Structure 1
Amino acid sequence: MAADPLTRWRLDGAIAAELLADTGLWRDFNDICDCGGRLSGTESEKRAFALLRERVKAASPANSGRSIPVPYGGWRARKATLRLADGSHPACHAPCHPLVRSIATPAAGLTAEVIDLGRGTPEEFEAHSAEIKGRIVLVRHELMFAAGTIHRRRKYDAARAHGAVGFLIAGPLSGHVVAGSSGRQAGDGIPALGIAPETAARLARRASAYPTVTMTIETEESPAETETLLYDYPGKTDEWVVLSAHVDGHDLAESAMDNGTGLASVLAVTRALAPRAAGFRRGLRVMFFSVEEWALTGSAQYVEALSAAERARIALNVNLDSVAGSPNLAALSSGFAGVEPFILGTAEANGLNVRTVRPLMTNSDHANFAQGGIPALRLVAGFDDPAANLRVVLTPADTRDKVGQGELRMATLFTAALVAAACNADPAEAARWRK
């Protein structure tokens, strides 16, 4: 009888048993959440890095890893208010949250009319192009893990390009504001706030006039530095499979799904695979990036610094970002058609149903690897599911109670299967991933 062709992708039974019995997975997830939201530049982020060092050291005491400095434009919001002049007496202040790297307003605030562009599609911007200049643009936050999503940074850039003086984005969850990055790196920009859907409803255009608001944002900006942690577990050749997750989050809650889930899963996979890496064809490189929420800065600097030869030695990047909060997993294969059979074969071999999404989505660190010519995928839960708990990412509701232990363990088992299979794939198969 012919051998099962899926055998080469099946996770070794001993490794699977270890992962199923690993109580550290749930402990690590809760301890990461205890660190807080992990906004870059805060003590919360520093506590998370210290925790990761401690846990990796416990798994592999002889491997101290290395820290790669990551300079970036430091930013902190000191104050943010949004005052509505909508006919109420007196005018009220609405809940708001400054987007990361928003510029400050004048000390007295920015007062202007608001134009509501709904979802904020390119077509909506174009249709209202004559009305945007000198006004504050209001758009809606979208489910980030979906085909056709228009990222807030694209909407922010469109508002600037059309001459808007400010930017408001309404979150998806009643009673809650929304966080996120403006995408601005340095220099010019427009003030940007996340607001609640109820506030957006109050800013509906009237027949007689546009509503008026006053935005006030006070910020501090100065050069800052964070780090990327890298741990190498060499295999039999000089090639690598990179397993990555981002550390940083936002200060509204615990950043539990995004990305406490990915960090806990990487730690568990490291515990299981690192002791076995010497027997793999390719080595395992474990990486923890930061300032991911700030336009993927940490991973961008890492990939840009790699030589052509170093990039060629990385066979695959498996990036974990928001891998629980739904039982449904998707793998974003970043335009690499040759990676999809490998993903689907690994899922089938291990009794899992995983969706693949081919177009490159630049919504996490895998995008920098892919744009650098390195095959890369992102695992994410709840893709294209507006009812999944992932819908509350970037709001104060991104807390640990949204994550099921079974969801996190399933994502971890699949990650281990992908990484182990990638580390042992024959050269011909790995060559297909680059196509």
Structure 2
Amino acid sequence: MTDHDWIADTFTSDTGWSHLETLVDIGDRMAGSPGEREAAEATRDALDAVGARDAHLEEFDVQGWVRGDSRIEAGDTEQACIALPRSPAGEVTGELVDVGYGLPEDFEDADLSGKVVMAASNVPSWYDRFVHRREKYYYAVQAGAAAFVFHNHVEGCLAPTGSVGTEDAPIGDVPAVGVSKEVGARLRRRFEDDEVTVAVDCEAPDATSQNVHADLGPDTEECVLLTSHVDAHDIAEGAMDNGAGTAVVVEVAKALAAREDDLDTRVHVLVYGAEEVGLVGSHHDADVRDHGSIEGIVNNDGVVRGRTLKLYTHGFDGLESAAETVAERFDHPVNTTPRLGPHSDHWPYVQWGVPGIHVMSETGDEGRGWGHTRADTLDKLESRDLREQAILLTELTVHLADSATAVEHRDPESIAEQLEAEDLAPGMKVTGDWPY
């Protein structure tokens, strides 16, 4: 097959977009839910249909979480909110304290014992790194907070979601809710320093999730992992996060099936479950997979949201070079950064020195934008972007699977040192994610 043939086939294909429609129309794809299982089965069947071999599911146990009602009572008002997944059930009353952005230094001298702590979902433009929601939550927990309120920075009356909890203690320590930017502003203006009540009703049953596996190319012991996650938060369609990533994986798998003669190394397709509640599916796989056999990882989480790809290459010079080679070959913009990003399914491998790329796309927005809200819907995406990015990522995967391409693994010690240098280590330690 010539380049013109597979590129034309991919750019005119509706396979990936049709799969994206299938995923968003399922509804609730929360980790451990029947909808997540249905999405995994549909992805397995889609991979089989495009020519991948041995498409199957692998089950694993996961802490389930089922949403009930939640509320904030302030004065004689009730303010709209949603529980953050893996919040414990409970009702607490305490003085409302707004810690602004919720940067580490915002917690240092604050009196937060027994208080209801509110923090924003973004960080200021002058700050040198992203501060994750869970990091803010556990700074509040360590300071003795009775409850946590996470307010959106995006206008539009959209309450943000996102899980709390750790690997060792999957259910969080104190009730946690998300509120819109507008509710956050109202709470700050009218009720800061007053007593408010936060109540969360939810269930935390035992549950089962699953990873989807399939193979393309020669049956080599070494492999390139082509990955995404299929679960999503229950409040939305999960189109951007991460139906689009799984749709791209299916489209790339279709293109790779037509180019199997170009693959020197096996491409193992791996679509994870339970990413949104602590990277559970990828940790499950990373714990049992031979890291030395992984030539590279192409993890799709945040693609299609914008037209230009953004790749976190995690300090692997060979991955940076591979991305530049593909961008030059297609005369197409691709933005890269060597910084570490410990917040998606590449990380359980990259933390031990396995070469991995986190593939996202530029949006021009601060933070997640529509992600993790009810507005994460299919209408925000374009099929053109999916097709263009599938072409680039097909070529990137083939390049990494080429026997002439060798990306050196890194020592875990160097990853730990880079985390310290980029000021990511303190947050990982407070959230229980520091593995060294």
TM value normalised by structure 1: 0.88
Structure 2 unaligned regions, length at least 5: 412-436
Alpha-carbon distance change, 143 to 327 in structure 1, aligned in 2, over 3 angstroms: farther
Structure-2 residue corresponding to 1:197? 181
Matches of 2:229 and 2:395, distance apart in 1? 21
Structure-1 residue corresponding to 2:62? 72
1:122-145, CA deviations, whole angstroms, 9 ceiling, x for partnerless residues?
A: 1111132xx111101100112899
Matches of 1:259 and 1:209, distance apart in 2? 36
1:36-60, CA deviations, whole angstroms, 9 ceiling, x for partnerless residues?
A: 2411122321221222122122122
TM value normalised by structure 2: 0.87
Q: Which moved more, 1:293-302 or 1:405-414?
A: 405-414
SS of the equivalent of 2:11 reads: helix
1:49 aligns with 2:33: no
Matches of 1:289 and 1:144, distance apart in 2? 32
Structure-2 residue corresponding to 1:122? 104
- The one-letter amino acid of 1:83's match is E
CA contact (8 A) 2:99 2:118 kept: yes
Structure-2 residue corresponding to 1:166? 147
1:36 aligns with 2:18: no
Alignment of 1:230-269 (within 5 A): 230-235=213-218, 237-269=220-252
Pairwise CA distance, 1:434: 4.7
1:386 aligns with 2:349: no
1:61-92, CA deviations, whole angstroms, 9 ceiling, x for partnerless residues?
A: 7x34232222111121222111112xxxxx12
Matches of 1:266 and 1:143, distance apart in 2? 31
Matches of 1:217 and 1:417, distance apart in 2? 47
Pairwise CA distance, 1:332: 0.7
Structure-2 residue corresponding to 1:150? 131
SS of the equivalent of 1:139 reads: strand
CA contact (8 A) 1:277 1:284 kept: no
1:305-330, CA deviations, whole angstroms, 9 ceiling, x for partnerless residues?
A: 12xxx211110010001201212220
CA contact (8 A) 2:96 2:192 kept: no
Alignment of 1:1-12 (within 5 A): 12=3
Q: Which moved more, 1:273-282 or 1:148-157?
A: 273-282
CA contact (8 A) 1:143 1:386 kept: no
CA contact (8 A) 1:339 1:432 kept: no
CA contact (8 A) 1:25 1:267 kept: yes
- The one-letter amino acid of 1:101's match is R
Of 159, 163, 175, which residue of structure 2 is paired with 1:177? 159
Structure-2 residue corresponding to 1:98? 83
CA contact (8 A) 1:339 1:433 kept: no
- The one-letter amino acid of 2:30's match is L
RMSD over aligned Cα, in angstroms? 2.3
Pairwise CA distance, 1:153: 0.6
Matches of 2:192 and 2:80, distance apart in 1? 23
Structure-1 residue corresponding to 2:391? 413
Structure 1 unaligned regions, length at least 5: 1-10, 86-90
- The one-letter amino acid of 2:179's match is I
CA contact (8 A) 1:253 1:398 kept: yes
CA contact (8 A) 2:165 2:173 kept: no
CA contact (8 A) 1:334 1:359 kept: yes
Matches of 2:281 and 2:124, distance apart in 1? 20
Structure-2 residue corresponding to 1:317? 297
- The one-letter amino acid of 1:247's match is V
Alpha-carbon distance change, 13 to 295 in structure 1, aligned in 2, over 3 angstroms: same
- The one-letter amino acid of 1:402's match is K
Matches of 2:123 and 2:326, distance apart in 1? 27
Larger C-alpha radius of gyration, 1 or 2? 1
1:254-310, CA deviations, whole angstroms, 9 ceiling, x for partnerless residues?
A: 11111111111110111111243355210110011011000111101110112xxx2
Of 306, 310, 315, which residue of structure 2 is paired with 1:330? 310
SS of the equivalent of 1:119 reads: coil
Of 352, 358, 376, which residue of structure 1 is paired with 2:332? 352
Pairwise CA distance, 1:30: 1.5
Structure-2 residue corresponding to 1:4? none
CA contact (8 A) 1:334 1:376 kept: yes
